Chains A and B, each alone.
Chain A
Amino acid sequence: MDVLLLSRVQFAVATYFHFLFVPLTLGLSFLIAIIETLYIRTRDEDYLAMARFWGRLFVINFVVGVVTGLPLEFQFGTNWTRYSAYVGDIFGPLLAIEATAAFFLESTFLAVWVFGWKKLSPRMHAAVMWMIACASTLSALWILIANSWMQHPVGYVIRNGRAEITDFLSVVTQGYAVLTFLHTVAAAYVLAGFFVMGISAYHILKGRNVFIKSFRLALYFSLIFSIFVVAEGHMHGADLAEKQPAKLAALESLWETQTYAPLYLFVIPSMDNDGNLVELVPIPGVMSLLAHHNPAAEVTGLNDFPADELPPVAIVFYAFRVMVMLGGLFVLLTLYGWLRRDRLAQSPRFLKLLVYTIPLPYVLCAAGWTVTEMGRQPWIVYGLMKTADAVSPVAPHQVAFSLAAFVVVYSLVAVAGFLTMIRHACQWPEHTAAATEEVKRR
């Protein structure tokens, strides 16, 4: 194996693992902040118990998310030196801003929230969680701005043999970044919503009806965002027609450039990246309609790109299908849940289904990132630098060792983290209730 492949696999391992924990941090922080605010408003002790129950899970998830993210910032330097030197002028400041403007805030105040139950008034304690929630979303914003620049580079000029920034504002405010941010964050909120619904369902099935409150809250939360993410995802897809036409064509494995481009209901792309083995049931014009909002519009097919500038179509195609189908499923589940919102305790089969649904949004997020990142290949910065030209001149055995270490360490950390979370998630222990009593008396 060569350094390029090893480095790509290593980066993929690190990011997939990291993103197992990021979405829950993004979403659950807001849900806990809302729960704490409801406690202040209503003085209903159930909400206080809820905040402490979900807070426990949040903290474990947060810590594992932080530590699995740490190597990502350094990997650009260790494994992608040519990339770092070539685009560091734009990419570097974005990462530095993320650290100073957002990451400091969430990491510092998490401790205040965790250790401050007795030292802070309920109002201040809730305010701290709001701050953590906003800071983590801000953190996501800067990282996604950086990622969007790799997808659609703007505001730069090639000078001194590298990309140099000329227009910071256009980098920060470009449409691609806005769409990516909304899409990613909304998907993260869906994940957090289903996480809370699933665990609440488990407890409602055990007769702990206090969890109906967190279930309903999470239901409304995920209903809103699962519809939003689908609608916004459509706009994101249409945006690709202009900015990343090869990725768009790969989503549907469309090879011929054509007007009235059809959407095939059943396609099997060839694994040789040169066409489709099977194309069945075309619906004319739908692809044109989705991409350009006009059934007559011309959609560029993959055959119009040089063979060495094609993404691995089959991977992108299947990952896109997983993402879209799961996205649709979540809309249906939350709509059904909304209809049953007043009879939850009488819907055991639905509740049971939701317990088993918890892993699916994780799959959705991984599939979404696969579409985004594999769809950009063979470019590391779309149209500007190829991934193959970005890799470090390090020895293959170094990367092989570090990759093996990544797989082992990250697996252990993820298993330890998830096992601890599962243990807490299944307990509605007396001591949570007892500790709640204690906080109330302060």
Chain B
Amino acid sequence: MLETAWFLIWGVLWAVYFMLDGFDLGLGVLQPFLAKDDRDRKAVYLTMGPFWDGNEVWLVAAGGITFAAFPVLYAVMFSSFYSILMLILFALILRAVSIELGEEAKGAVWKSVWRGCLALGSLLPPFLFGIMFANIFRGIPIDGSGIYHGTLVTLLNPYALVGGLLFLLMFLLHGALWLAVKTDGPLQGRAARMASRIWLALVFTAAMFLILCAFQTELFAIYLDRPVLLAIPLVAVAALLITRIWIGRAEWFKAWWASSASIFSIVMFGVVGLYPLLLPSSLDNVFSLTVHNSASSPLALKITLGVVLVFIPIIVTYQGWVYRFFGGKVDEWAYDKP
């Protein structure tokens, strides 16, 4: 029971991270194509500036919770995905430094170098996280001691690459919608057109991923076993369609929410499909990490559960306040950084 609760919290934290950091990563990739002049660039900076750091902490929380609740998973997962995870971390460093130091840079050349770094640093994490989670859904070659018997190339299988593309497109759409929420005029127009185009590609990729899941993974077993859980993929599909409807009506904030719901439920579809596994072994099912064989002791789970139950609602409250505090179009609140 305790372990199952932790399984859900684990999945939810990763899903929330993707949902929140998704828009600023996506926007980081799109900004060279959407921002045409310095005014646009300033607007893009302001749409990300107050939020990216708070969003990225969800990754620290997801990592910390993985460590606290499922230390064996933490160890096996992060060492198996060694190169991918390192690339993600370096990209996130590059991203953050580009946002803040790029803003401080003097001269057009340096500024454009930093913008390029921002695009690269924002491009890699979505794609690589997609590859990582697709491989988790599919299973990786780990033995009974949790030692990974593959190479980086093992992880770059077609299914995982589609997963990477899926994550990238989800984040790109999310970022384009956020920019449309926070700006107006020609910049918003470009973001809106970009969003419609990405949406088409996303729906196609999502459908392909779902079909591949049926052949490449065991994710569907639990859904066939308990049809009530089919609500999760249905919400994902519905949220994707609703996103398009709101885009059509130029209701950007609602479209962004629908996009958030689609990211959250697509990730949760995969996570719930794993249960009771956390990381399937493609060598032999007995080597798979489950919520039972990789969890912390009941006491450790209870202590961390208490902390999470107290602090996560507090965090959601004050982050929600910050989003409202910096709500509205970016021009409306004065830019004044010391």
Which A residues fall within an 8 A CB radius of B?
51-53, 55-56, 59-60, 63-64, 66-68, 70-71, 73-74, 76-79, 81-82, 84-85, 87-93, 95-101, 103-105, 107-112, 114-119, 159-160, 164-166, 168, 392-394, 398, 401-402, 405, 409, 413, 416-417, 420, 424, 432, 435, 438-439
Inter-chain contact A398/B83, CB cutoff 8 Å: yes
* 26 pairs, CB–CB < 8 Å, chain A vs chain B: A59-B100, A63-B101, A76-B74, A79-B79, A87-B71, A92-B64, A92-B69, A93-B68, A95-B68, A99-B60, A100-B64, A101-B311, A103-B57, A104-B57, A108-B315, A108-B318, A109-B318, A111-B51, A115-B337, A117-B336, A118-B336, A119-B325, A402-B86, A405-B86, A417-B97, A417-B101
Nearest CB of A to B80, in Å = 9
**Chain B residues whose CB sits within 8 angstroms of the CB of A104 once the complex forms:** 54, 57, 61, 311, 315, 319
Inter-chain contact B296/A108, CB cutoff 8 Å: no
B interface secondary structure, majority: helix
Inter-chain contact A92/B300, CB cutoff 8 Å: yes
Q: In this complex, which of A59, A73, A417, A420 has the most chain B Cβ atoms within 10 angstroms of its Cβ?
A: A73
Inter-chain contact A111/B338, CB cutoff 8 Å: no
Q: In the complex, A118 Cα to B326 Cα: how many Å?
A: 12
B312 within 8 Å of A (CB atoms): yes
Q: Nearest chain-B residue to A120 (Cβ)?
A: B325
Inter-chain contact A435/B336, CB cutoff 8 Å: yes
Q: Nearest chain-A residue to B104 (Cβ)?
A: A420
Inter-chain contact B83/A84, CB cutoff 8 Å: no
Interface residues of B in 304-338 (CB under 8 A from A): 304, 307-308, 311-312, 315, 318-319, 322, 325-326, 333-338
A59, A78, A93: the one within 8 Å of B86 (CB): A78
Inter-chain contact B57/A107, CB cutoff 8 Å: yes
**Chain B residues whose CB sits within 8 angstroms of the CB of A93 once the complex forms:** 68, 296, 300, 303-304, 307
10 more contacts with CB within 8 A, not counting A77-B85, A78-B78, are: A60-B104, A67-B97, A82-B75, A91-B67, A96-B61, A96-B68, A111-B49, A112-B325, A119-B333, A394-B148
Inter-chain contact A165/B299, CB cutoff 8 Å: yes
Q: In the complex, A108 Cα to B315 Cα: how many Å?
A: 9
Please count the residue pairs between chain A and chain B whose beta carbons lie under 8 angstroms apart in the complex.
Answer: 236
B67, B75, B300: the one within 8 Å of A95 (CB): B67
Which B residues fall within an 8 A CB radius of A?
46, 49-51, 53-54, 56-57, 59-61, 63-69, 71-72, 74-79, 82-83, 85-86, 89-90, 92-94, 96-97, 100-101, 104, 145-148, 296-297, 299-300, 303-304, 307-308, 311-312, 315, 318-319, 322, 325-326, 333-338
Q: In the complex, A393 Cα to B144 Cα: how many Å?
A: 13
**Chain B residues whose CB sits within 8 angstroms of the CB of A70 once the complex forms:** 56, 59-60, 89, 92-93
Please provide the 8 A-B residue pairs with the shortest distance between their CB atoms, ordered closest to farther.
A88-B71, A77-B78, A92-B68, A81-B75, A92-B67, A96-B64, A52-B338, A96-B68
Nearest CB of B to A133, in Å = 16
Nearest CB of A to B226, in Å = 30
Q: In the complex, A110 Cα to B338 Cα: how many Å?
A: 13
Nearest CB of A to B321, in Å = 9
Q: In the complex, A87 Cα to B49 Cα: how many Å?
A: 37
**Chain B residues whose CB sits within 8 angstroms of the CB of A96 once the complex forms:** 61, 64-65, 67-69, 304, 307-308
Q: In the complex, A216 Cα to B168 Cα: how many Å?
A: 52
Inter-chain contact B97/A64, CB cutoff 8 Å: yes
Inter-chain contact A78/B79, CB cutoff 8 Å: yes
Q: In the complex, A87 Cα to B82 Cα: how many Å?
A: 20
**Chain B residues whose CB sits within 8 angstroms of the CB of A71 once the complex forms:** 86, 89, 93
Q: In this complex, which of B79, B146, B307, B334 has the most chain A Cβ atoms within 10 angstroms of its Cβ?
A: B79
Q: In this complex, which of B49, B104, B308, B335 has the most chain A Cβ atoms within 10 angstroms of its Cβ?
A: B104
Inter-chain contact A77/B57, CB cutoff 8 Å: no
B297, B319, B334: the one within 8 Å of A118 (CB): B334
**Chain A residues whose CB sits within 8 angstroms of the CB of B319 once the complex forms:** 104, 108
**Chain A residues whose CB sits within 8 angstroms of the CB of B299 once the complex forms:** 164-166, 168
**Chain B residues whose CB sits within 8 angstroms of the CB of A115 once the complex forms:** 46, 49-50, 326, 333, 335-337
Q: In this complex, which of B67, B304, B325 has the most chain A Cβ atoms within 10 angstroms of its Cβ?
A: B67
**Chain A residues whose CB sits within 8 angstroms of the CB of B54 once the complex forms:** 104, 107-108, 111
Q: Nearest chain-B residue to A82 (Cβ)?
A: B75
Inter-chain contact A99/B101, CB cutoff 8 Å: no
Inter-chain contact A56/B89, CB cutoff 8 Å: no
Q: In the complex, A104 Cα to B299 Cα: how many Å?
A: 24
**Chain B residues whose CB sits within 8 angstroms of the CB of A77 once the complex forms:** 63, 66-67, 74-75, 77-79, 85
Nearest CB of B to A274, in Å = 36
Nearest CB of B to A316, in Å = 29
Inter-chain contact B333/A74, CB cutoff 8 Å: no
**Chain A residues whose CB sits within 8 angstroms of the CB of B64 once the complex forms:** 73, 92, 95-100
Nearest CB of A to B163, in Å = 20
Q: Nearest chain-A residue to B335 (Cβ)?
A: A115
Inter-chain contact B338/A55, CB cutoff 8 Å: yes
Inter-chain contact B79/A393, CB cutoff 8 Å: yes
Q: In the complex, A107 Cα to B21 Cα: how many Å?
A: 14
B59, B60, B71, B82: the one within 8 Å of A394 (CB): B82
**Chain A residues whose CB sits within 8 angstroms of the CB of B86 once the complex forms:** 71, 78, 402, 405
**Chain B residues whose CB sits within 8 angstroms of the CB of A53 once the complex forms:** 338
Nearest CB of B to A61, in Å = 10
Nearest CB of B to A167, in Å = 9
Nearest CB of A to B215, in Å = 30
Inter-chain contact A119/B67, CB cutoff 8 Å: no
**Chain B residues whose CB sits within 8 angstroms of the CB of A401 once the complex forms:** 83
Q: In the complex, A439 Cα to B335 Cα: how many Å?
A: 11
**Chain A residues whose CB sits within 8 angstroms of the CB of B83 once the complex forms:** 398, 401-402
**Chain A residues whose CB sits within 8 angstroms of the CB of B68 once the complex forms:** 88, 92-93, 95-96
Inter-chain contact A90/B300, CB cutoff 8 Å: yes
Q: With A88-B74, A100-B307 in contact, do A413 and B93 touch (Cβ < 8 Å)?
A: yes
Q: In the complex, A56 Cα to B318 Cα: how many Å?
A: 24
Q: Nearest chain-B residue to A412 (Cβ)?
A: B97
Q: In the complex, A87 Cα to B297 Cα: how many Å?
A: 11
Q: In the complex, A381 Cα to B26 Cα: how many Å?
A: 41
Q: Nearest chain-B residue to A117 (Cβ)?
A: B336
Nearest CB of B to A131, in Å = 10
Q: Nearest chain-B residue to A77 (Cβ)?
A: B78
Nearest CB of A to B310, in Å = 8
Inter-chain contact B67/A76, CB cutoff 8 Å: yes
B90, B147, B308, B322: the one within 8 Å of A100 (CB): B308
Q: In the complex, A68 Cα to B90 Cα: how many Å?
A: 9
**Chain A residues whose CB sits within 8 angstroms of the CB of B66 once the complex forms:** 77
Nearest CB of B to A203, in Å = 16
Nearest CB of A to B326, in Å = 7
Inter-chain contact B315/A100, CB cutoff 8 Å: yes
Inter-chain contact B82/A78, CB cutoff 8 Å: yes
Q: In this complex, which of B46, B50, B71, B100 has the most chain A Cβ atoms within 10 angstroms of its Cβ?
A: B71
Nearest CB of B to A145, in Å = 13
Inter-chain contact B74/A84, CB cutoff 8 Å: yes
